[in-house]
Amino acid sequence: MTLATLAEVLRPAVAGGYAVPGLVCLGWEDMRAYAMAAQAERAPVILQAGPSCRAHTPLPVLGAMMRQLAGDVDVPVVVHLDHGYTLDECRAALDAGFTSLMYDGSRQPLAQNIAETAAVAELAHAAGVSCEGEIGFVGYAGGEGSAGTDPADAAIFARDSGVDAMAISVGNVHLQQGHEGGLDEPRIRAIEAVTDVPLVIHGGSGVPLAQRAALAAVSRIAKFNIGTELRMAFGAALRDAVNADPDRFDRVAILKETHDPVMAAARAVIRGLGASGKA
C-alpha cells in the first residue's frame, strides 16, 4: 500500500523543485490510467474526487477505488477530496478513507473562511491526514469570475487556518480548454514572500505549459490541479472508440480503448511538472 498524505508529497516537491499533479477523476477508467501513468513515470500522484465526481459516485465507493489503486502501485498516491464545501462532507471523506481533505471556503469572508477551514484542518490532523484550503476565489471559464488572492489575506489565512497547502487565485480559471493567458507571477512572488505553506493552482489545464513547468521548478507552487485537458483526452479517445464501430455496444470493450490515450496524456502532465522519478 502506497497511500500518502498531501503534506508527505508536497513538502519534498517544494524542496526538490517540482510539482505534484492533482489529477481530477470522474470514474474508474481515468483514475486507473492516472495511477498507471504515475507508476510508469515513478512519480507521486494525487487522485482527486471533485463535486461532479461525487455527484455521480458515492464517496465510499470512490475512496475504495482510489485506495485499491494505491495498493496496485508502489509510488505515493494521495486520495484527495477536492472542493469539499461542508464539514460533514469532509468528515464523510475521512470515513471513506481519503488521506487529504480540501475545504473550499473561498466564497466566504476571510474570518469565516479561516474558521471553517481551521475546523477541517483540526479534523484532518487528528486523523493523521492533510488539509488544503483556498484563499481568493478561483473562477470558471464562461462562469463566475475570479476574485484574486490578496497577499496580506494569504499570510493571515496560512497562519491561522493550519492548512498543509493553500490554493490561490492568481489568474487561473477552472474548466479552461486552452493554454491561454498565464498566471500573475508578481502576485505569486508576493504571496511566497509572506508564507512558507506549499501553494496550489486550481485550473492548471489553462496555464501555458512553459509557465507551468517553470513555476513547478522555481516557485512554492507544489501542486497543479489538472482536469480539463485530461477529460478532453478521454472524450476524444471515447469518441474514436465509438465511431470506429457503430455496431458495438459493450461498454467495457469501448471504455478499454480510452486507457492508453489517457495514460499517455497523464504521463505528459507528470513530466511537464518535473515529477518523473521523484517517487
What counts of helices (H) and strands (E) characterise the chain? 12, 9
Statement: residue 78 has pLDDT above 80: yes
Question: Which CATH number characterizes residue 137's domain?
Answer: 3.20.20.70
Residue with cell 484550503: 133
Spatial separation of the C-alpha atoms in residues 190 and 151, rounded to whole Å: 6
Containing domain of residue 197, as a range? 3-272
Q: Is 115 within a domain?
A: yes
The pLDDT tens digits of the residues spanning 195-215 come to 999 999 998 888 999 999 999
> What is the band of 176 on the pLDDT scale with cuts at 50, 70, 90?
low
Statement: residue 141 has pLDDT above 70: no
Query: Which amino acid, 278?
Result: K
Give the global pTM: 0.95
Element (H, E) at 7: helix 6-16
Q: Report, as an integer, the average pLDDT of 9-27.
A: 97
Question: Quick check: is 82 catalytic?
Answer: yes
Q: Is 279 within a domain?
A: no
Determine contact, residues 207/167, Cβ cutoff 8 Å. Answer: no
pLDDT value at residue 205: 87
Query: Which amino acid, 147?
Result: A
Spatial separation of the C-alpha atoms in residues 138 and 19, rounded to whole Å: 19
Phi-psi region of 52 (alpha: psi -120 to 50; beta: other; left: phi over 0): alpha
pLDDT value at residue 171: 80
Q: Is 70 within a domain?
A: yes
Active-site residue (options: 30, 74, 82, 196): 82
Q: What percent of the chain lies above the pLDDT cut of 70?
A: 94
3-state secondary structure of 59: helix
pLDDT value at residue 33: 98
Count of the separate structural domains present in the chain? 1
Report, in this order, helix, strand and coil percent for the chain, each rounded to 5: 50, 15, 35
3-state secondary structure of 232: helix
The DSSP bridge pattern shows strands 3-4 and 100-103 to be: unpaired
Q: Is 67 within a domain?
A: yes
Residue with cell 501513468: 37
Cell output for 153? 489575506
Q: Is 277 within a domain?
A: no
Determine contact, residues 80/45, Cβ cutoff 8 Å. Answer: no
